[in-house]
Structure 1
Amino acid sequence: MAFDFSSSKPGPPQNENSRGLTITIVVPTLDRIDFLERCLDSIKQQTHVPDEIVVATHEWDSTTAAYLRSAAPFPCPIRQSVTREKGVIANMQAAINITKSNVVALLDDDVTLHPNWIEKVLCHFESQPRPSGVGGKDFLQDDPAGRQIEPLTRRVGVFAWTGHLSGNHHRGTGPPREVDVLKGCNCAYDGVLLRRIGLDHSLRGSGAQVGWELSLAFDIKKTGGRLVYDPSIQVDHWIAPRHDESLLNRTSTQTVEFQHMIYNGFCIMRRKAKLHHYWGHVTHALLWGNRSACGAIRSVLLVLSGDQDAWRRFAVVFHCWVESVRTTHRPARSTAPTT
């Protein structure tokens, strides 16, 4: 279901698109008007106006619908897609399905775009060879002072031979380069390819459904597509409250969403990664992991240092891996991103 708010509230004329490429910006949201309004305002300030915006909502989110009906005129058409299903994947898929543009950007509602964001994205899509997806850097605003002293890195969004995935999109530096995965708050994809592939509806969760970007990256790489990370494509990321089972934080280890995050990671790697990447991922997760999702060795060290809850967290990780093996079929031949 979709609603068009552009005809009743026409805005100023759009900029001419000299490149011939059209771009739609999809913004999934759920009852976070303050963040959505700030995000839309940053789109309004772009040096290149998008061809349209689709605000992706759920049918029970009457607050967002009311806001869109009463919003001030905008420089481009704004449509609202509506879905009855829970989770961001169904939310975004409903929006993607009604797009027609050459390029479809996916943004979190809690980001604000730097003024040349669209211009830089379209520059990549008009280059040759044309990428299948483009993403950039998000400046996390949860602790601005602390984030400013974090070391920068060129190792962003790539797999090691062990199967360990380096994120670091918020700390990226250097020139544009090909990567294995983009960050979902700041990315854009070839519209035809995205509409054909779609998102992974098998992932668990009723909110953020962690891992959809990784699953999509595997599917794009399977087609021979390229993903490009450019740290000059920048957004500010304000980390809004969430409305899923995790309430506020996916790293809260006693939530259902924490279990979904671990389970989704195992399932994606089992179904779509190269065999050595999959077993490297499993070995690292079960033996070492990280402080919240700790493996066996790390949990022993944490218990000895006084963290008695570490054993429970390791048990969650082990249970999620066993369940992923039980519920997920691994294909005979795998098609993973190459490092």
Structure 2
Amino acid sequence: MISITVIVPTYRRPQDLARCLEALKHQTRTVNQLIVTIRDIDTETWEFLATYNPDSLPLQTTTVTVTGVVAAMNKGLSLATGDIITFTDDDAAPHPDWLERMEANFQTDEKIGAVGGRDWQYIGNRIKEEGDREDVGRLQWFGRVIGNHHFGVGKAREVDVLKGVNMGFRRNAIQGMGFDERMLGTGAQVHFELAFNLALRRRGWKIIFDPLVAVDHYPAVRFDEDKRDQFNNIAWLNAVHNETLVLLEHFSLLQRTIFIIWAFLIGTREALGLLQLFRLLPSESTLAVQKWVASVDGRIKGLQSWLTYRNVTTTKVAITK
């Protein structure tokens, strides 16, 4: 019989965590192991869990002493015993059939190493942003990463990357793997999913996005430099650095060359090149310049990190048996 582990990293959001745990209680497919990773200094969450009634949930808590989501997820990963190891955020509420549908996808093909799906984003009871997309979780050959996981529709299909709030992995597929501890950031550490998923693809495993494998996502306050919808120079630089490092490691020599040229001359709204700077100047003025400077700095630092680490094995081994 297949066993499933659910890992939930949390930090100072006990009300959100309570909603997440209640959703996990109502899964149509039983949770076999539930690991909640908690920072040692997070007194709010420890106090909440001290009186929380898990009922049928096989709740297991573990302490993390290092900042950032990567350390929390690696700690959970090191304790996971399931044949399928799933992740969601404390500010998410998985749909009742989340685990059932995820397991069903894994059973269709033994070469599937990861399964994830849509996160329906809410502000209160209102959908944050309306939209439907079939182009989801894809890395284009020259380096642009297409997300759209919160807009995903259509049939289950193969993709390049899943979103951290809604993803699960076959234990055998991630043997010897861990989340990349080189990701910059003291909290969110943007693009850690990209690093992990692309490493999995290099191993030859399939990654499946199924919009019906769904969670409701209530993006909550972050207690680090990354404030989601507000520009912060350090958070912006960190995200661009992380993406640059991951893609340079993943690409061939030719693709690296094309990616670097494209990144500095064109770029995206999240990592500006010159063309994006000129496009945003009329509407964002000095803010566009700040984003561009942070983007260039992030690209350069990402390139430096790649040059530093390209001959060194750095990914923590979290799954060893």
CA contact (8 A) 1:49 1:75 kept: no
Larger deviation: 294-303 or 259-268?
A: 294-303
For residues 206 and 262 of structure 1, the distance between their equivalents in structure 2, rounded to whole angstroms, comes to 15
Match of 2:43 in 1: 62
The 5 Å alignment of 1:258-337 reads 258-291=236-269, 293-304=271-282, 307-329=285-307, 331=310
- Tell me by how many angstroms 1:306 deviates: 6.3
CA contact (8 A) 2:10 2:37 kept: yes
Please tell me whether residue 188 in structure 1 is matched to residue 176 in structure 2: no
The 5 Å alignment of 1:167-206 reads 167-206=147-186
Give structure 1 stretches of 5+ with no counterpart: 1-19, 333-339
For residues 31 and 308 of structure 1, the distance between their equivalents in structure 2, rounded to whole angstroms, comes to 34
68, 88, 107: which one aligns with 2:69: 88
For residues 280 and 45 of structure 1, the distance between their equivalents in structure 2, rounded to whole angstroms, comes to 48
Q: Cα 1:306–1:68, aligned 2, differ >3 Å: closer, same or farther?
A: closer
CA contact (8 A) 1:164 1:277 kept: no
Amino acid at match of 1:225: W
> Cα deviations across residues 226-284 of structure 1 (Å, max 9, x unaligned)?
111001111111001101122x22x5333312211111111111122334443444333
Match of 1:13 in 2: none
Larger deviation: 236-245 or 313-322?
A: 313-322
Amino acid at match of 2:238: H
CA contact (8 A) 1:156 1:166 kept: yes
CA contact (8 A) 1:270 1:328 kept: yes
Match of 2:222 in 1: 242
- Tell me by how many angstroms 1:294 deviates: 2.4
CA contact (8 A) 1:288 1:298 kept: yes
TM-score (norm 2): 0.90
Q: Cα 1:183–1:212, aligned 2, differ >3 Å: closer, same or farther?
A: same
- Give the greater-gyration-radius structure (CA): 1
Match of 1:222 in 2: 202
For residues 256 and 165 of structure 2, the distance between their equivalents in structure 1, rounded to whole angstroms, comes to 25
- Tell me by how many angstroms 1:75 deviates: 1.1
Residue aligned with 1:155, SS: coil
Residue aligned with 1:89, SS: helix
Identity %: 27
> Cα deviations across residues 98-136 of structure 1 (Å, max 9, x unaligned)?
111101101011111111111111112222234110000
Residue aligned with 2:60, SS: strand
For residues 194 and 64 of structure 1, the distance between their equivalents in structure 2, rounded to whole angstroms, comes to 30
The 5 Å alignment of 1:137-176 reads 137-142=118-123, 144=126, 147-148=129-130, 150=131, 152-176=132-156
- Tell me by how many angstroms 1:225 deviates: 1.0
Q: Cα 1:54–1:298, aligned 2, differ >3 Å: closer, same or farther?
A: same
CA contact (8 A) 1:97 1:195 kept: no
CA contact (8 A) 1:161 1:276 kept: no
Please tell me whether residue 49 in structure 1 is matched to residue 30 in structure 2: yes
Give structure 2 stretches of 5+ with no counterpart: 312-321
82, 97, 102: which one aligns with 1:116: 97
For residues 105 and 255 of structure 2, the distance between their equivalents in structure 1, rounded to whole angstroms, comes to 29
Amino acid at match of 2:129: R
Residue aligned with 1:175, SS: coil
Match of 1:255 in 2: 233
CA contact (8 A) 1:96 1:195 kept: no
Aligned residues: 309
Q: Cα 1:71–1:294, aligned 2, differ >3 Å: closer, same or farther?
A: same
Q: Cα 1:46–1:32, aligned 2, differ >3 Å: closer, same or farther?
A: same
Residue aligned with 1:27, SS: strand
Q: Cα 1:225–1:301, aligned 2, differ >3 Å: closer, same or farther?
A: closer
- Tell me by how many angstroms 1:214 deviates: 0.4
Q: Cα 1:305–1:203, aligned 2, differ >3 Å: closer, same or farther?
A: closer
Match of 1:336 in 2: none
For residues 209 and 306 of structure 1, the distance between their equivalents in structure 2, rounded to whole angstroms, comes to 26
Match of 2:115 in 1: 134
Amino acid at match of 2:256: Y
Residue aligned with 2:117, SS: strand
Residue aligned with 1:139, SS: strand
